[in-house]
Amino acid sequence: MSRGTGAAKRYAKALFELALEQGLVTETENQLKLIADIVESDAEVRAFLTAPNITLDTKLKVLNTAFNDKASAIVLNTVSLLLERGREGELPAVLEAYLQVAGGVLRRADAHVTSAKPLTEQEITKLADKFGTLLGKTVRVTNTVNPELLGGVTVRIGDTLYDGSCGENSNVWKKSCKQRQSS
């Protein structure tokens, strides 16, 4: 467990409570995800936010200018607070914790599904329904393609991995996987 996990959960819980009060739970999630994705995927943005020679005021001004029309005040205030306290690196952990807090309260879970080829909407719906019934929650599915899999899928929900794949490193090697490999 990382050192910042407890702090990330506290920030996420506070943000969720504000979002719930304002009826902006989903919007807050989307806005936080947008900012976290940009920071995580763009090395220049990360370098800017962590640069010791750039003042906090400059970082906050740039942040507010860049996201003012894309994020609510509560999201911008949370990200600003992370910057002020030198915790900008915890933004992805705050997003993950927010998803967990929101999921727990709203009875929702996110399933990260890895498959050999892109899943159809029908297959995604079927997986969401099956795992939704199993967990007693509404399940949202994100599909990632891994061509190294011979077939089947792996499903990660929280800390649990359901491995129904057909691959060299798979824990499950069913008759159907062997048949696919020989064809």
The domain limits of the chain are: 5-104, 107-182
Do residues 104 and 132 make contact, with C-beta atoms less than 8 angstroms apart? no
**pLDDT tens, residue by residue, 56-106:** 999 999 999 999 899 999 999 999 999 999 998 899 999 999 998 998 888
C-alpha pair distances (Å), 69 with each of 16, 54, 172: 20, 24, 47
78: closest CA among 11, 8, 7, 20? Answer: 11
Decide if 164 contacts 150 (C-beta within 8 A). no
Distance CA 70, CA 56 (A): 21
Q: Measured between alpha carbons, how far is 139 from 76 in angstroms, rounded to an integer?
A: 28
Q: Is 51 helix (H, G, I), strand (E, B) or coil?
A: coil
pLDDT per position as a tens digit, 32-59: 999 999 999 999 999 999 999 999 999 9
Record the pTM.
0.73
Q: Does domain 107-182 have CATH number 1.10.8?
A: no
Element (H, E) at 108: strand 108-115
- According to CATH, what is the number of the domain 5-104? 1.10.520.20
